Structure formats: structure tokens, C-alpha cells
Structure 1
């Protein structure tokens, strides 16, 4: 089969299109013919070595073992099953829960042995992939591409919203609101949990599209008076921040949060380090949350909301699998709205 492998830490030149054997499912696994695989920051940061220091970087302390096939947002059709898997699963269209873990229900994502598909396991930048049968869920939509854009970014966004315990009518600021996680943060906070969302983007030409996703107000991070604009449109401080940007908007976020406000972060595309005056933290009684991925129950609740039409796929562009380098370079450009998806059959 054709697959795309990362051969080491570095630039897109470390992505190589190769021919590899079709994997064989083990006893409790299934073989999936990949129909679509959406791109996430996770596989780019994995390739770039952003999850660690020195020569080791990955979800696990030992780092990634190369070569590795990336890709974690996967939909496809089960074409073969392991000996312990019911034959009735053959032919099912599925979306993959993106990691394994021995953690108890509700804490799978914080287990020490959490291992990610596309990092610790070969992933979906390929024509076929194997995965545990119990981690394959019915697709929430009938379309492979549309169903492939939720697994990692959607689960991360859903978990962020549940962590800060949003109540209807609260005001939530979403940074990076036009990205994969951000666009889903907007939808989940507004359409599922009933919050008033202030979406922060770069280009205000996206305003109407962001409002279509549920945003009440859309502001640009390029504004020199962003904090004042946030306070103005809300009529005062906000309840919570859902952040994927990091340093670039950190001070603004703390400035506009109310006393007792909540700040939840799941990414740092705008800078991985920031200065914090601890007096701001304790005098305003702010609660910080670090967040990535989520639980299987949250995944199930998210898929249900997608099936019910409360959360819609937001897709910017598709690429053939063989153009993975070009797709990852495009993914990193600003101004997109939604996900970029690789298609093995194109």
C-alpha cells in the first residue's frame, strides 16, 4: 500500500511517500481501508519535535520511533477483522477514537500509558490502518470526509468546554476561532451548551462565517485595543477563555477575565512561553486548565451531537494523500477556516 512516513524530526522534507505492506490485524483489531484523514497540529508538532526537548519528543517520554506514519483523524471501512472480533464488523464505516489507554473510564486521557495513533502507532496517512475494534465507532455522518474532521480537534474542544463547566448565557472567548479546534469550540460552546461566544480571528472577512457557527461577536487579534473591544461588546469582563494560541493572547485573556474566571488552554501556536504575574492569578481568583483530548464518554457525547446536527463539519480544503507535504505546509498558513483533509483514493 501507499503510505506517508515521517523519517525523523524536522521539516516537511521528513515526509516521504513509500510503499509498505498492508498491516495485519491482531486478535482484537480490525483492518480499515482509510477513506479520509484530517490534518492536526499534533502530527506537525510531532514531526517538528515540539513535544519535547533535545532528541526525544512525543506523547511518551521515549519519543517517537521512526519511521512513523502520522494521522489521527481517520474514517474508513472495516475490511478485515482479527480472530476475536465479530465478523459482523466487516463492511462497517467507522471513525477512530484516537488513542489507547489503560486509564479508568473518565481518566483515559491522563493515563501514563496513553498512546496516540500517528505518534506511538502508525496512523491514517496511508491506504490502510489497523486499530482495536473497541475503539472504532459508527461514523456520525454518512460522508467520510465530513466525519473525519472531529476526532482529535473535536474531542479536544469538547473536553475543554466540559472542563470549564459552561452554563447557558455565560460569555466565552475563543481564540484561534477559525482553526480546527477553535471553530469547534465556537460551535460546542454556543450550540450545545448555550454560551455567548466572542470569536477571535485574524481576518474580519471571516465574521459572517464565524457567526454562522454560533459566534455572537467576532473580533481581530490584530486590533491594538482588543481588550477594550472585548469588554465593550460584552458590557464587562467575560466568564471564560478557550485558548489555542498561547503567549500572543495570554495577557489579553487575563485582562478581560472576570474575578473567578476560567482559562483553558490546549495549544500554543502563538508562543509556548508567557510571563505571568502571580498577583493577577490570585487576586482575580482565576482557575487555569491544561487540556488535550478527552474521554471515551465525551467522544460518544460529541458524536451524538454531530449526528443531531448541533455541530457541523468545517472543511477548508482536501488534498490527495501523496501531497501530504503540500497539505501540511498549507495547513500552517493563516486565514483558513476549518480543517484540511487528506484523501488516499484521490
Structure 2
């Protein structure tokens, strides 16, 4: 894909970032449609999902860069195909794999791996052009709204839990910060895999909801974690909060246990007691997103177990500011979506 490659043509509505950093640089406006080239398809979007990544993009995409349609998650109907495309056809209902250029399951993404929504135009628009391999059949049991918020968070959680964390039936798994979209997928995935799952949140309401979703124990992040867990140690911890909880999480890991980390929304620099770490024989693994192979595995897993995203609220694209503000304040439980008509 060529960055922001557009031909003169029809206009569409989109949420565009330009001219200044942050939410103030976003506008809902007309922008020219992009035409599919060889090996690409165009999708008329029915919905899109908001991710923490979209907040980060607002600082990574600079004022001097060309205008950018943001957004990584989306679902819709193919309305045009480029030369040589055989895997999808016009009229197909598809969900978008936002990972570009990472096909097979490998230890790390290959050079050149990118994610839809930066540096290439994203899903907060009426239409999007993507490589044909990234247009995957939409799971039939999911609604448009559910499918629209699935991809990035579910893929991130799937790789963290299965590929990197190697979760198994009977394991004790701790998931700090249950409010995020990835965390709600982690809870559902781990329970479906037969694990015992513990979660934390500063919100009593989110703890209660997690218990309703199947968590075996939910407790306040401000509590003494060791007391809250009754001295139980975890086989696997999926840490996405960052510096605010990293060492508290590490304290709950059994000797030889594994921590997988993929987020740093509450600080990205931690102090680590190396002596305690190597005496504990701990495993610390990083991860982010996942491959096309894992994406297909994840879709098969959610279809087998009929796992649905936890939907927080949905908005019209023109209401993007309200959606971003809700995420910035961490008020959501699960995923925030956009309905695109």
C-alpha cells in the first residue's frame, strides 16, 4: 500500500487527523475515496472500533504529516476489488485484520510490519482500501457492532495468552486492569481455555462485571494484592497497565512463572530488582498484536466458544470526541465502537 494514496474521485466522510497534535487535530469531514490497486480491496464500512492505539496515534502523527484517517478496527462489505484478487469478491461481508505484512506466526513481527491507521489510512471512515489478505470473512454469529470492535484487542489478547503465555487448563492467571478491551477478551479466552482467572480494577463496578463474566476473583487494585489473593501465586500474569502495577504483579508470580506484557498506559519505566527476578526464575515476555495466522486461529477460537466482545458504548463517527474522552478517562468497560451508516 502506498501511504495515503488517493485518486481524484468521490468524497466520503471520515475522522481525519491533521495540523495539530492530540484530539484537537481531529475533524469529521469530507475526504476523497481511495481506489483499490492490484491485490487490494475496498470495504464499505459498517462499523469501527476505538483502541488505546488511536490515542497514541494522535501524538505519533505529526502536524507536518499529510492528513490521516485514523482507526484500526473495522467491519463491512467489499464494494470493489483490484486486479488479481481472488480470495474475496464484491458483496462479501468481511472483518479487517489490522496487521499489515505479518503473515505467519513468528517470534516477532517482520521488518516493515505496520498497523492500519498509521501510517496508512484507517477505519474511521465510510470506506477503506486494504490488502485483500487482510479482508477476512466476518464471523456469522457476531453482529456488525460486535465484529467492528474485535480485531486489534482480540488478536493482541490471543497472542499474549496462547502464543506467548502458553496458557493451559488449570493454570492460575492474573489480569490486572480489567476495564480495557484486551483485558475483557483475556478473561473470556482464559476461562474458555480452562484457567482459573483473577482480575483487578480500581472500579467496584468493573470488578462486579468481571465476576458476572466468569472471573473467579476480582479485587480492587488499591488493595494489598497478596492479602486479596490469600497468598496464592500465579502461573501466568498478563500485564498491560504498566509501571503502576508491574511490580505488584511480579509479587504475585510463582517461582518459575511467566509474565507477558504488552501495555504501558500507566507508565513505561519500571524499577526491577534483578536479584529477586533471577532467584525467582521468572519469565518476562513482551508481545504486541499478532500475525495473520494467529488472527485466523483467534477467529476459530471465538467461533468455537461463541465468545462475543464486551461492548461498552457505540457512537456515530461524528461523535468521535465523546468516544475519545470516555477512553481518556478510562470510564469504559470493554470496547467502544462507532456505527457507520
Fold shared per TM-score above 0.5: yes
- What is the aligned counterpart of 2:315 among 308, 316, 319? 319
Shift in alpha-carbon separation, 1:108–1:14, aligned structure 2, 3 A: farther
Which has the higher mean CA deviation after the structures are superposed, 207-216 or 11-20? 207-216
8 Å CA contact 1:85–1:133 kept in 2: the answer is: yes
Measured after TM superposition, the shift of residue 158 of structure 1 is 0.2
Distance 1:257 1:15 in 2: 42
Measured after TM superposition, the shift of residue 335 of structure 1 is 3.8
Q: How does 1:191-206 map to 2 (within 5 A)?
A: 191=192, 193-206=193-206
Look up the SS of the partner of 2:38 in the other structure: coil
Distance 1:104 1:158 in 2: 15
Deviations 1:140-194 (A, max 9, x none): 1341111122210000000000111111111110011121010011111111x21
Look up the SS of the partner of 2:130 in the other structure: strand
Look up the SS of the partner of 2:197 in the other structure: strand
Which has the higher mean CA deviation after the structures are superposed, 68-77 or 327-336? 327-336
Which residue number corresponds to residue 153 of structure 1? 153
Measured after TM superposition, the shift of residue 322 of structure 1 is 1.2
Which residue number corresponds to residue 60 of structure 1? none
Which residue number corresponds to residue 212 of structure 1? 212
Residue 243 of structure 2 corresponds to residue 247 of structure 1: yes
8 Å CA contact 1:30–1:81 kept in 2: the answer is: yes
Which has the higher mean CA deviation after the structures are superposed, 301-310 or 163-172? 301-310
Measured after TM superposition, the shift of residue 134 of structure 1 is 1.5
Q: How does 1:149-188 map to 2 (within 5 A)?
A: 149-162=149-162, 163-188=164-189
Which residue number corresponds to residue 276 of structure 1? 272
Which residue number corresponds to residue 263 of structure 1? 259
Q: How does 1:288-327 map to 2 (within 5 A)?
A: 288-327=284-323
Q: How does 1:11-22 map to 2 (within 5 A)?
A: 11-22=22-33
- What is the aligned counterpart of 1:35 among 25, 46, 51? 46
The RMSD of aligned alpha carbons is 2.0
Distance 1:187 1:249 in 2: 22
TM-score (norm 2): 0.91
Which residue number corresponds to residue 106 of structure 1? 105
Distance 1:164 1:214 in 2: 20
TM-score (norm 1): 0.90
Distance 1:213 1:8 in 2: 42
Shift in alpha-carbon separation, 1:108–1:321, aligned structure 2, 3 A: farther
Shift in alpha-carbon separation, 1:176–1:280, aligned structure 2, 3 A: same
Residue 329 of structure 2 corresponds to residue 333 of structure 1: yes
8 Å CA contact 1:254–1:280 kept in 2: the answer is: no
Distance 1:96 1:262 in 2: 31
Measured after TM superposition, the shift of residue 86 of structure 1 is 3.6
Shift in alpha-carbon separation, 1:8–1:107, aligned structure 2, 3 A: farther
8 Å CA contact 2:99–2:290 kept in 1: the answer is: no
Give the unaligned 5+ runs of structure 1: 50-55, 58-62
Give the unaligned 5+ runs of structure 2: 1-11
Measured after TM superposition, the shift of residue 213 of structure 1 is 2.3
Distance 1:139 1:286 in 2: 39
Which has the higher mean CA deviation after the structures are superposed, 199-208 or 13-22? 199-208
Which residue number corresponds to residue 23 of structure 1? 34
Shift in alpha-carbon separation, 1:27–1:189, aligned structure 2, 3 A: same
Which residue number corresponds to residue 117 of structure 2? 118
Deviations 1:212-252 (A, max 9, x none): 322110011022x123212x0xx521111101101111111
